[in-house]
Structure 1
Amino acid sequence: MCGSVKAAIRRTGRGTWDRFAASDPGLLRLMAGLRTVAAIVLTLVTLALLHTGVTLMVAGAMAAMVATFAIREKEVRGQAITLALGLPIALAAMTLAALLHTSIIAGDVFFVALIFGAVYARRFGDRGMALGLIGFQVYFVSLFVHATVPTLPELYLTLAVAFVCSAVVRFAVVPETPEGTLRRLREAFRARLAQLVATHVELVDAGPKQLDGVLDDLRRHTARLHEAALMIQGRLEEGTRDAAVAGLLQRRVADAEIAAERLGVMLLNARSAERTDTLTLHLPDAPVPAMMNRVQAEGDAVGTLRRDLEALHLLVARAPGDRGTGLAHVRNRLLGYRDEDNLPPGTPAVQDAFRGLGEAARAVLGLRLALDGPQDESDDSPATTRSREEFDAEDLAIVGAEESADSEDDRTGLQRPTTRAACQVAVGSALAIVGGEFLSTQRWYWAVLTCWVVFLNTASTGEILVKGYRRLLGTVLGVVAGVALAGLVGNHTWSAFFLVLLCVFGMFFTAPLSYALMSFFVTAMLGLLYTLLNTYSLATLVLRIEETALGAACGIIAAVVVLPVHTDRRTDEHLGTVLVRLREVVSAAVEQLSGGPAVDLLSRARDLDTALDDLRGSTQPLMHPITPLRGRRQTARYLVALLDTCAYHARSLAATAELVPFSKTVAADPRLERAGLRIACNIDLIVARVADEPAEGEVESGASIASMLDADDSPALRSGTVTFRVLRHLQRLDEGVVGIARSLDVPVTGRSGSRNSPVAAEIP
């Protein structure tokens, strides 16, 4: 009895931790918050032991925070070098601020020059950005604590203590290593995969009233799984020392993601009265084909399907060390569905769902082998043995993905993004200094800080406008919280420091989720800092709102007037890049599926995903709730959803094509080449239209992909075969590309969606 209770407690604890790990992939937000808070705490304790005053403790806390969050390099050695270089830059910034304390004009001119240099330094990568950020922020700290020449020795000591404490925490207390981050990201991927499979179980049982909610969960968990896969791909180079291991892990993660998404589509098909478009998984509020649950009429098949979905969830959710005959039996049963003879009786759609279960179980097995190493094979069934043999063959063929050379930005002068941004923020900061001086000769730098931050990680006028709005919203709410907290702590210094630490943690934990929420914690923290410095008043916090609004306005004016980058232009650039990457992946995959030479398809698919993620970020201003252009908002959402769908099918083609050179069950089919050429030509026409380049011809829709193959008088294709699956992805790609063309007003010829063959009618 006691053992059962302990096992239940362990399962509950593991489930709770899995949900948290899934919500924070790699624990990146948690670690960032803990690392920053620990650095501040260690700095405060050290300064307290040195009997420094409250003002210096505030300066030390802010410097420790800057020294911790500014470092973004992934390699430990790079982090150490940047931190070591940051200290002399911080000392220089503090010195110049103190020397120029009484020279208002000279100080303002230097501040603008420092801002220009800090932004321009972004062109030198993470290190340049970190050093520029340290220089700017420490100068800002000096203004906040009113640094003067007589106080410089104490401030030097404070900065040195802050940087040393930051280094101790970063490298000893809360270390950040590429290997550790990748390990936690892999665990987050497994947890998110388990959440998606749990949603699949809900999908089978959902009634008409629950279906919309379950579909929303399905879309969200599918997108979250893809996000985790992208984060893993971005850490493979630093997190694994062996290129072959990195290539293997990349392949297994991609297989698991594709199999899980395919299973969701097949379950939707099984329960609907008509075929479900893959777009349903990527477009919010997409119409559902039918509200009835057809799978419930399948009798024993629905019970078997539900049971095996729960078994798949068990395989995904189990801890790496779990073993047992029961788990082996479950795995063997699911892998058996890869054989046509083992499929339960049912309609073709239901049998497709069981095939999807078998492929998902195979992907989970491959993921386990890649993450946990060799496993016990004593209880393997013939189907499991075959899957292991396939993995062994793939492992021998997979070599480390070669690093794709990033295209060098050949723009120079004012056309270079970093130069343009530096000019914009310098002009905006100059305006903020002038306007801020009119509002307050003591707190004018808050306007400059806001102007600075709205330009961080933004590249278009629309992004700056949205970020400025979020900054102002968070500041207003933070002022309300600051008033309440200042009244709560009164003159209790250490209570105020404790609440400051909570605000710092909240600031870094919520930063990737909501910029408005992060601004809320920043402003609440400032109210507490003013309390510590005995300069708190309600008028000060109201002034904070005014300076924030002024700084956001100055940033927007500079973005509109000085070398503007309009949102449409930036979006078109990213859209063109996504389409080019999509063409490269599809063309290379179809060529390999047609018998062409083997190439590194997964790296090309990763480049497509990265480009699509950039496009998604650039369209955020168009899709923001406050945008007045509702028509453009709907078009942008539809285009991104179509591209998400096309990217999924392109990844699926790439994963299947990579099996051709060494698989015994996947054979090349030369007939596919013709279909690939049509899709590639259609994409080229759309790219030319987006780039405003002349192009002859129209996007061809006409006959279905399957009917193009039927014209060769080939034997009929059977559902469940590899070529049939490839045709399904090509058909959906073809329809998605035509949909993109229609959305962009590219001329289209023929009848879209024509299904002239029996095979085409069966493609889900």
Structure 2
Amino acid sequence: MRDRLAASDPGLLRLTAGLRTVGAVALTLAVLASAGSDITHLVAGAMAAMVATFSIRERRRDAQAVTLAVGLPVALVSVSLGAVLSARVVVGDVFFVVLIFCAVYGRRFGDRGTALGLIGFQVYFLSLFVGASASGLPELWAALTVAFACSALVRFAVVPVTPTGTLARLRQAFRARLGRLVSAYLALLDAGPDEVDKALEDVREGNARLHETALMIQSRLEEGTPDESSARLVQRRIADAEIAAERLGLLLLSARSAERADTLTLHLPGAPAPEVGRLPGPDESTAVLRRDLLALRALVVRAGPGGTGVAQLRNRLLGYRDEENLPAATPAVRDVFRAVGETARAVMGLRVALEGPQDESDDSPATARSREELDAEDAAIDAGEEEEPAERRKGLQRPTTRAAAQVAVGSTLAIAGGELLSTDRWYWAVLTCWIVFINTASTGEILVKGYRRLLGTVFGVVAGIVLAGLVGPHTWTAFALVLVLIFTMFYTAPLSYTLMSFFVTAMLGLLYTLLHTYSWEVLVLRVEETALGAACGVVAAALVLPVRTDRRTDELLVTVLERLAEVTEAAVGQLSGGPAGDLLDKARRLDQALGDLRSATQPLTHPVTPLRARRTNARYVVALLETCAYHARSLAATAELLPTHPSIAADPRLRGAAGRTVRNIVTIADRVADEDVTAPVGTGPSIASLLGGDGTTRYGRVTDRVLRHLERLDEAVVGLARPLGVPVTAPDR
């Protein structure tokens, strides 16, 4: 159960966010109720505690404390202005728009600027929601002060979270998800012809989730590890385990297929599984492979030393790295056993990096040899090079400035339209307009987010009506349900924006009940204001400094291709005998760029999009890029083994043979960035044939794995040309 929870919520980040917010709200209600506060101030305190908790996103505790301390005076000023200006409609509306602009513009100053902007906006909204007046400010100030104090107490004492603890839980999640991926491989091994598509889909999902956890770990290494060397060691072992696990799945699928499976099959959603049959070779080898996959899963998920039994399992699996220990089987099945041995080695390296030195008393010669290789690799890891600062845009080209201008125009439209619908609750349209601009960067993303919020709001209104009818006048029952809805809101927020909007609207129905302003008309008005706010956000995004989804995805696609060329060229250069480079960081930047592109293409791949051909094309391009990234990561990982691995040596011929691949990547990037570029993508002989010779000596200098990754990468890059409209030419023969 612990592993299931760790795998479903990596780092327990969602659980922690929900518990923190609920704890802060509950403690605030308890303090205010004991002081005799009325319902209005209880609601205000609960909302302020929620804002003070979710607004702060910094990872270091000292930075969180500073932001929370600065956020209190910002909240007090905001609620005061909201109360004073409530009677001055025009001045209040103008100030609200200015506040919204400043809150969004503050995102350019990092997490603290974002948090203070959120606090300023949300507390001003709070003053409108509870109908704050100048005469009632002292009580509101007291409620906000209690809310911020309770939020701090829960954050730092009741539910404390440290970067080290978060990283430890993320590493546990990585191990749990790796174990579930091995279970998916077991299901793929035993799947019949009618079950293989479902088994392959589970493998795709397992690989995607494992990669997601690896990226989360990489983003927290700097704060969660004691020094740069430790961070790079963990990063290296995580990357090794991810690559080894994905390669194991590919070879297992190839062994069950009539021909070698394409890496794209593991990345393209809905791609049909290749025709599969019974695993070739004697039945005994299939039974042994099933037993060894079960042993590999046990090595992955078992924490602690494990004893002699676990040591024997590890020794047997690592023995497959020696040719003489492979069972009698076809070459494809023997490749799977080799991959099992390599994955077991990666798991052992990960365990050493995360848990420290292990008991070596029961090691076999193969295990001792693997430990020596890992120790040599660990000693070769250094601090690496500093990352070059990114180019900064200026003026209206800066994303935060453009978004601030857009949301200010959208909010102005929302205020005007909202007051036509209701002079009392026009601010709901402004809130929706504000929210659809958070964490979005293109018109398409804003449209999808607005649609999801409207959908969640409609269903939330129905739930609010039912809950309000059940609760009736029972105040504390309503507050208890509010706490439950707050927890579910924060727990589901990273998973589904529609679900989060549903729980928010249901909670607001209960708050209206507490404030004795609940009615069917109020909840219907909520839907109308939400639709209006979403429409105003889309209109503003489309007319004011618009960033079309095509332009946004093209920019990110060029970045991914540049990172891919950078990793490939550096890895091939090192494999050719060039100087060692910072391959791990280059591969991480490639993964981050690919993650940004994947998020930006969501409007194109959304299930309700009417452009079916475009959706299929976008999914295919992203899947091809994920395939390219996998091979580039594998090349980088192999290149970093050069100084320590006895079976890998530099081959100067690789630089010339792989030069075509790098040139093709650059050509595609230039074509995406500028449609006037007409240079074609070139094809020709295979990478292996470009090395020259009779084909018998190359394996003594460069492993077959390097050639396979280079050839697959070359094929995938050429495959990118067709959906992106880049011409392909073959040399004259």
Common fold by TM > 0.5: yes
Pairwise CA distance, 1:628: 1.2
- Contact 1:572/1:691, CA 8 A, preserved across alignment: yes
- Contact 2:651/2:701, CA 8 A, preserved across alignment: no
Deviations 1:4-60 (A, max 9, x none): xxxxxxxxxxxx121111011000000000000000011000101111111001000
Q: Which residue of 2 aligns with 1:642?
A: 624
Deviations 1:371-430 (A, max 9, x none): 111111000001100111011111111023545234032x22111111110010000000
Alignment partner of 1:346: what SS? coil
Q: Distance in 1 between matches of 2:546 and 2:270?
A: 34
In structure 2, give the amino acid aligned to 1:738: V
What are the within-5 Å matches in structure 2 for residues 542-691 of structure 1? 542-691=524-673
Q: Which residue of 1 aligns with 2:318?
A: 335
Q: Distance in 2 between matches of 1:509 and 1:43?
A: 20
Q: Distance in 1 between matches of 2:39 and 2:73?
A: 24
In structure 1, give the amino acid aligned to 2:356: G
Pairwise CA distance, 1:676: 2.1
| Structure 1 position 90 matched with structure 2 position 75 | yes
Q: Which residue of 2 aligns with 1:7?
A: none
Pairwise CA distance, 1:177: 1.2
| Structure 1 position 381 matched with structure 2 position 364 | yes
- Contact 1:97/1:143, CA 8 A, preserved across alignment: yes
| Structure 1 position 446 matched with structure 2 position 431 | no
Pairwise CA distance, 1:175: 1.0
Alignment partner of 1:405: what SS? coil
Q: Distance in 1 between matches of 2:23 and 2:696?
A: 68
Aligned pair partner of 1:304 in 285, 288, 291 = 288
| Structure 1 position 199 matched with structure 2 position 179 | no
Q: Which residue of 1 aligns with 2:508?
A: 526
Q: Distance in 2 between matches of 1:180 and 1:444?
A: 43
Alignment partner of 2:194: what SS? helix
Q: Which residue of 2 aligns with 1:187?
A: 172
Pairwise CA distance, 1:163: 0.4
Pairwise CA distance, 1:701: 1.6
Q: Which residue of 2 aligns with 1:33?
A: 18
Point out the more displaced range, 245-254 or 199-208: 199-208
Aligned pair partner of 2:377 in 366, 391, 394 = 394
- Contact 2:671/2:678, CA 8 A, preserved across alignment: no
- Structure 1 residues 687, 583: CA separation in 2 closer, same or farther (over 3 Å shift)? same
Q: Distance in 2 between matches of 1:335 and 1:309?
A: 13
- Structure 1 residues 418, 412: CA separation in 2 closer, same or farther (over 3 Å shift)? same
Pairwise CA distance, 1:721: 8.8
Q: Distance in 1 between matches of 2:676 and 2:664?
A: 14
Give the alignment's Cα RMSD to 1 decimal: 1.4
| Structure 1 position 469 matched with structure 2 position 454 | no
Deviations 1:542-597 (A, max 9, x none): 10000000000000000011110000000000000000000000000000011110
Q: Which residue of 1 aligns with 2:301?
A: 317
| Structure 1 position 538 matched with structure 2 position 523 | no
Q: Distance in 1 between matches of 2:657 and 2:459?
A: 56
- Contact 2:71/2:116, CA 8 A, preserved across alignment: yes
Q: Distance in 1 between matches of 2:593 and 2:731?
A: 30
Deviations 1:437-461 (A, max 9, x none): 0111111000000000000000100
TM-score of the superposed pair, with normalisation by structure 2: 0.98
| Structure 1 position 154 matched with structure 2 position 136 | no
Alignment partner of 1:294: what SS? coil
| Structure 1 position 502 matched with structure 2 position 487 | no
Aligned pair partner of 1:46 in 12, 16, 31 = 31
Pairwise CA distance, 1:717: 5.2
Point out the more displaced range, 605-614 or 685-694: 685-694
Aligned pair partner of 1:407 in 383, 387, 390 = 390
Q: Distance in 1 between matches of 2:710 and 2:42?
A: 63
Seq. identity, %: 68
Deviations 1:288-337 (A, max 9, x none): 22132334x53211111111010000100102x24211100000000000
| Structure 1 position 715 matched with structure 2 position 699 | no
Q: Which residue of 2 aligns with 1:176?
A: 161
- Contact 2:458/2:527, CA 8 A, preserved across alignment: yes
Q: Distance in 2 between matches of 1:84 and 1:358?
A: 53
Aligned pair partner of 1:370 in 330, 353, 363 = 353
Q: Distance in 1 between matches of 2:464 and 2:676?
A: 58
Question: Could you list the runs of 5+ residues in structure 2 that have no partner in the other structure?
Answer: none
Q: Distance in 2 between matches of 1:378 and 1:251?
A: 26
| Structure 1 position 749 matched with structure 2 position 732 | no
Pairwise CA distance, 1:662: 2.5
Q: Distance in 2 between matches of 1:225 and 1:514?
A: 19
Q: Distance in 1 between matches of 2:456 and 2:421?
A: 21
What are the within-5 Å matches in structure 2 for residues 111-130 of structure 1? 111-130=96-115
| Structure 1 position 437 matched with structure 2 position 419 | yes
Aligned pair partner of 1:512 in 488, 494, 500 = 494
Q: Which residue of 2 aligns with 1:727?
A: 707
Pairwise CA distance, 1:723: 1.8
- Contact 1:669/1:723, CA 8 A, preserved across alignment: no
In structure 2, give the amino acid aligned to 1:61: A
Q: Which residue of 1 aligns with 2:59?
A: 74
In structure 1, give the amino acid aligned to 2:716: G
- Contact 1:436/1:443, CA 8 A, preserved across alignment: yes
Alignment partner of 2:220: what SS? helix
Alignment partner of 1:599: what SS? coil
Aligned pair partner of 1:266 in 251, 258, 268 = 251
Q: Distance in 1 between matches of 2:731 and 2:21?
A: 59
Alignment partner of 2:703: what SS? helix
Q: Distance in 1 between matches of 2:18 and 2:109?
A: 26
- Contact 1:118/1:133, CA 8 A, preserved across alignment: yes
- Size of the aligned set, in residue pairs, is 733
In structure 2, give the amino acid aligned to 1:570: R
Q: Which residue of 1 aligns with 2:680?
A: 698
| Structure 1 position 346 matched with structure 2 position 346 | no
- Structure 1 residues 372, 344: CA separation in 2 closer, same or farther (over 3 Å shift)? same
Alignment partner of 1:407: what SS? coil
Q: Distance in 2 between matches of 1:408 and 1:129?
A: 21
Q: Which residue of 2 aligns with 1:233?
A: 218
Alignment partner of 1:743: what SS? coil
Q: Which residue of 2 aligns with 1:23?
A: 8
- Contact 2:234/2:354, CA 8 A, preserved across alignment: yes
- Contact 1:335/1:361, CA 8 A, preserved across alignment: yes
Pairwise CA distance, 1:695: 4.5
Q: Distance in 2 between matches of 1:604 and 1:730?
A: 18
Q: Distance in 1 between matches of 2:434 and 2:442?
A: 15
- Structure 1 residues 64, 721: CA separation in 2 closer, same or farther (over 3 Å shift)? farther
- Contact 1:86/1:134, CA 8 A, preserved across alignment: yes
Any runs of at least 4 consecutive aligned residues in structure 1 with deviations exceeding 4 A, and if so which? Answer: 693-696
| Structure 1 position 276 matched with structure 2 position 261 | yes
- Contact 2:649/2:701, CA 8 A, preserved across alignment: no
In structure 1, give the amino acid aligned to 2:64: Q
- Contact 1:574/1:614, CA 8 A, preserved across alignment: yes
Point out the more displaced range, 151-160 or 655-664: 655-664
Pairwise CA distance, 1:722: 5.4
